[in-house]
Structure 1
Amino acid sequence: MTRIVHISDCYPPRVGGIETQVHDLAARQARAGHEVHVLTATGAPGAPAGAETVARSVSAPAGGPAGRAGEPGRAGEPGRAGEPGRAGEAQVHRFASRVTFGLPVHPREATLLRRALAEVKPDVVHVHVGVVSPFAYDGARAARALGLPLAMTWHCMLDGVVPLLRVGAALAGWRRSPAALSAVSAVAGRRVAEVMAVPQEEVLVVPNGLDVTAWAPALMSTGGPGGRWAGAPAETPLPPDGPLRVVATQRLAPRKRPVPLVRIINQVHERLGRDNAGQPRVHLTLIGAGPTDRAVHAEISRLGLQDVVEVTGKLPRPEVKARYRDEHVFIAPARLEAFGIAALEARAAGLVVVAGRGTGVSEFVRDGVDGLLTPDGSDGLRDAAADEALADALVRLAAPDGPLRDMLAHNRSTPPAADWADVLAAADALYARAQDLRTVAPGR
């Protein structure tokens, strides 16, 4: 048994890639018999934004509620650490402050994190990092100060900030620290290697995990990655008998590029036109919500795409999977996609995936087999040209003699090579490296 501490700014009930992955990884490690703790700056479920929720709670198993209220400490203090949760569950320590108005930070996080780590005495500290992760970085500094084996995973693309982070890493002494480095994809890992000035092979890959069978369009006949699915649901009519049905599931935030996505669909619509009944030959279902919601609707109105684009708002996972039964293609327009868990879910559901080839989606989508990977910034293209390449891919899939039918048949009968067993093994390798580095350099 290993005593593991995960540190993440964000955690359920917040929704997002890091939140989901940290929760599910912690839950599966606990089920495997490890003692698992999560330290987070996200308040307890049901607490109003800005509430003081520094407390301990115990998380539910993966797929269930995010957690239940635990034994709180005094205001501004952590609850008691080191008490094991129920068998097969992770123990969550929440550090939220009313003075930060719901943001996942705490004004005394450095002190509280160090105190919690000293009390838990973990065998390894696993820090989960985004572009802006003050709580996680404070946790990494606390682990380093206490001389604990430290593993760090970047869940983001560092494009545009590598030079700044290189200077910061050098000044803060991170390049001399015995931390085991990793990222959720090799693409993201290359940027981490640049920041830390280490060879690429020193940045391990700990990919995001997915319960493939939960997203499968039908039951698997042989089971496991690389198996065959027993069948597929009746498919929506393919072009030209019906429109090319495209779906995107994402947070409506600038980084995910929902407004440019509407413009990409407009390009496709202008090129494909309408059928004899006046119906558009392309349709986009945009699933999600976020700060650019109004801008997305405004762009739809400006371009006259009310019958071409449907915005559903945020949907629960079972409803997202149900929606996928009526779709053909999942599109991922984001440039800074370190992994693309939504794209992996769609691929597991049998959809064809279209994305830029310089993103983390390229880790699990093979161009011409599972989907189409288009030229993007990794090829020196600017946004306009890269967006045009995405539009070209959709037009190609909409063609009567295009590859859509064959790709759908493949994806609906063959699961992607993504499994939680691989993720757990990758995490174990990362922890072993963290402990080896700590043994080699105990004084750093």
Structure 2
Amino acid sequence: MKVALLSDCYLPRLGGIEVQVHDLAAQLTSRGHHVEVFTATPGTHGERHGATEVVDGVTVHRMALRLPWDLPVNPLAPLTMRDRLATFDVAHVHMGVVSPFAVDAAFLTRRIGLPTAMTWHCMLDRFATVVSALGVVRRWAAGGMAMSAVSDVAATPLRRVLGGAGPVSVLPNGIDVAAWRPQGPRPDDGVVRFVTAMRLANRKRPVPLMRVIRQVRALVPAGREIALEVLGEGPDRGSVERYLAEHGMASWVSLPGRVPRSSVRDRYATADVYISPARLESFGIAALEARTSGLPVVARSGSGVGEFVTDGVNGFLADDDESMGAALARLASDDALRERMRAHNLDQAPAQDWPRVAELAEAEYQRAVGATVRA
């Protein structure tokens, strides 16, 4: 099939959707499909206004305008994309909570009759009422657009929004299991090393995480040395740094900023436990990568992390921050428990390996094509 992947954000920006769309394009290409990406993100050298470039063997259409902070917005893009998209067999729109480019693209694919699959990478949460009231998504589904979400937790509010307009599948994020497996045993220096990868922004809850890890330090015996590394960058860095300074934590909590994926793998290989503090985590690709690396994962219950972490088996799912701190302290204090969970994660590969996820994506495309034919 000739597949158009449409996403507000794409490389060189780094984030969950950006990396997933890139990897999906590579997987579909390897399976014999012709894939091109349409995005409102400028290229590495500022490519905009419909310019095309090839990124890792995939043609990328840069529909960006020159805007402050390179905002992924371009209401004029449909005028340029109409003729280009008319040559494709199916479109795959990737939605976040606020995705103006993806929304415009969905309106366009409906107008030109292009079979369309739409995957939601977000938790609608409080936006569900607004989305339901607008009625647009319900009309898209009723018209044959194949709806999916990255986890069952994310799919549930979308199903409520759609009512009987159409089914919602689960199309999870994918992972290259072999690439994330550690090479050799974890080096042991006697320090229990916690790690997390997140954007330092309010939604990801970096400051509450600092409160939790301070609680852990109080619960763990003084003789047990612990450390936390927070991989990522964002607007809340200053707030986090102030909290660390005020509470004397800067010596054992580090903020190295954004690091490349290869470095993330290396850091997971030397860590002991992964922490996912966000409440509204629709999937948690960083947590899945850590789980695949063997790390026990501690996350909030009710998030998408529950798709691949079973409470008490390969990590813990906590109802609140206090419970999260207690679970982390337990893991820090119990070497045998950490090793048991690590062994389970390395022995039992997650179900979200890319070959299976690519098959599910293909099924969504066939569902969209079939619905368009029937219409």
* CA deviation map 1:221-244 (0-9, x unaligned): xxxxxxxxxxx414425xxxx443
Alignment check: 8 A CA contact 1:351 1:411 kept: yes
| Residue from 272, 286, 309 that aligns with 2:220 | 272
Alignment check: 8 A CA contact 1:10 1:42 kept: yes
Distance 2:8 2:137 in 1: 23
Percentage of pairs with the same residue: 45
Equivalent position of 1:216 in the other structure: 181
Alignment check: 8 A CA contact 1:114 1:139 kept: no
1:125-164 → structure 2 map (5 Å cutoff): 125-164=91-130
Shift, 1:402, TM fit:
6.5
Shift, 1:291, TM fit:
1.3
Equivalent position of 1:285 in the other structure: 229
Alignment check: 8 A CA contact 2:220 2:333 kept: no
Distance 1:340 1:260 in 2: 18
- State yes or no: 1:313 paired with 2:257: yes
Shift, 1:411, TM fit:
2.4
Equivalent position of 1:344 in the other structure: 288
Shift, 1:97, TM fit:
1.0
1:176-187 → structure 2 map (5 Å cutoff): 176-187=142-153
1:191-270 → structure 2 map (5 Å cutoff): 191-198=157-164, 202-218=167-183, 232-236=184-188, 242-270=190-218
TM-score, normalised to structure 1, is 0.80
**What is the SS of the residue equivalent to 1:91?**
strand
| Residue from 46, 53, 60 that aligns with 1:57 | 53
Alignment check: 8 A CA contact 2:50 2:80 kept: no
- State yes or no: 1:103 paired with 2:71: yes
Alignment check: 8 A CA contact 1:97 1:107 kept: no
Equivalent position of 1:19 in the other structure: 18
Distance 2:331 2:232 in 1: 24
Distance 1:167 1:175 in 2: 15
Equivalent position of 1:165 in the other structure: 131
Distance 1:234 1:116 in 2: 50
Distance 1:123 1:150 in 2: 9
TM-score, normalised to structure 2, is 0.94
Shift, 1:397, TM fit:
1.3
Equivalent position of 2:43 in the other structure: 44
Distance 1:361 1:128 in 2: 20
Alpha-carbon spacing, 1:272–1:285, altered in 2? closer, same or farther (3 Å): same
Shift, 1:57, TM fit:
1.1
Q: Which deviates more, 397-406 or 28-37?
A: 397-406
Distance 1:324 1:401 in 2: 17
Equivalent position of 1:299 in the other structure: 243
Alignment check: 8 A CA contact 1:183 1:204 kept: yes
**What is the SS of the residue equivalent to 1:153?**
strand
Shift, 1:174, TM fit:
3.1
| Residue from 320, 335, 344 that aligns with 1:410 | 344
Distance 2:136 2:40 in 1: 27
Distance 1:387 1:166 in 2: 31
Shift, 1:272, TM fit:
2.0
Shift, 1:401, TM fit:
7.3
Q: Which deviates more, 390-399 or 207-216?
A: 390-399
Alpha-carbon spacing, 1:27–1:175, altered in 2? closer, same or farther (3 Å): closer
Q: Give the superposed CA RMSD.
A: 2.0
Alignment check: 8 A CA contact 1:149 1:438 kept: yes
Distance 2:368 2:68 in 1: 33
**What is the SS of the residue equivalent to 1:315?**
coil
Alignment check: 8 A CA contact 1:187 1:360 kept: yes
**What is the SS of the residue equivalent to 1:415?**
coil
Alpha-carbon spacing, 1:171–1:423, altered in 2? closer, same or farther (3 Å): closer
One-letter code aligned to 2:199: R
Alignment check: 8 A CA contact 1:169 1:175 kept: no
Q: How many aligned positions are there?
A: 375
Shift, 1:306, TM fit:
1.4
Alpha-carbon spacing, 1:437–1:405, altered in 2? closer, same or farther (3 Å): same
Alignment check: 8 A CA contact 2:216 2:325 kept: yes
* CA deviation map 1:3-32 (0-9, x unaligned): 111110000000001000111111221222
| Residue from 297, 314, 325 that aligns with 1:370 | 314
Distance 1:234 1:430 in 2: 39
1:77-116 → structure 2 map (5 Å cutoff): 89-116=57-84
One-letter code aligned to 2:43: A
More helix by percentage: 2
Distance 1:93 1:336 in 2: 31
Shift, 1:202, TM fit:
1.4
**What is the SS of the residue equivalent to 1:4?**
strand
Equivalent position of 2:366 in the other structure: 432
Any gaps of 5 or more consecutive residues in structure 1? Answer: 61-88, 219-231, 376-385
**What is the SS of the residue equivalent to 1:160?**
helix
Distance 2:324 2:58 in 1: 41
Distance 2:50 2:240 in 1: 36
Shift, 1:419, TM fit:
1.2
Any gaps of 5 or more consecutive residues in structure 2? Answer: none
Distance 2:76 2:234 in 1: 29
* CA deviation map 1:357-390 (0-9, x unaligned): 2111111112222111122xxxxxxxxxx11111
Distance 1:175 1:325 in 2: 43
- State yes or no: 1:397 paired with 2:331: yes
